[in-house]
């Protein structure tokens, strides 16, 4: 049983379309991070959200942390083939250095 559930598990869209990935939990996290992982490489941090209700934007990517700090979403506007990859959310509890990862959402953007 995963503490952080991501949905959908797989998403295939055409270039130019929008997409949203969800990360849900019944637990409260002190912070939540989003990573992107490309084949043959390790995950790379995209953003960290800390405050409930926080919204952060990174070019065409918008990240939101739920008010109760139990869930998060990643929205990509006008997706491009370069956005293809595995998107992972990871939560950190109040104490400690440990991250718990969601199962990942595999995104494929077709040209």
Partner 1 sequence: DAGVIQSPRHEVTEMGQEVTLRCKLISGHNSLFWYRQTMMRGLELLIYFNNNVPIDDSGMPEDRFSAKMPNASFSTLKIQPSEPRDSAVYFCASSLIGSEQYFGPGTRLTVT
Helix (H, G, I), strand (E, B) or coil at 81: helix
Q: Which stretch binds partner 1 (CB under 8 A): 18-26, 49-57, 67-75, 99-107?
A: 99-107
> CA 4 to CA 25: how far, in whole Å?
5
Nearer of residues 22 and 101 to partner 1, judged by Cβ: 101
Report whether 102 contacts 43 (CB < 8 A).
Answer: no
The binder of partner 1 chosen from 1, 26, 40, 111 (CB under 8 A): 40
> CA dihedral defined by 110, 84, 64, 61, rounded to 10 degrees?
-70
Among 42, 59, 82, 111, binds partner 1 (CB under 8 A): 42
Q: Does 91 bind partner 1 (CB under 8 A)?
A: no
C-beta of 18 vs 30, nearer to partner 1: 30
Q: Which residue, 9, 77, 81, is CA-closest to 38?
A: 81
Chain residues in the site for partner 1 (CB under 8 A):
2, 40-45, 48, 88, 96-104
């Amino acid at each position: 049983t995963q503490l952080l559930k991501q949905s959908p598990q797989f998403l295939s869209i055409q270039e130019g379309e929008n997409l949203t990935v969800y990360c849900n939990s019944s637990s409260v996290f002190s912070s939540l991070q989003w990573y992107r992982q490309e084949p043959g490489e390790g995950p790379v941090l995209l953003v960290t959200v800390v405050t409930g209700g926080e919204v952060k934007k990174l070019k065409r990517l918008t990240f939101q942390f739920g008010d109760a700090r139990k869930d998060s979403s990643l929205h990509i506007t006008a997706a491009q083939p370069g956005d293809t990859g595995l998107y992972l959310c990871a939560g950190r509890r109040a104490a400690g250095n440990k991250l718990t990862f969601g199962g990942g959402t595999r995104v494929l953007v077709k040209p």
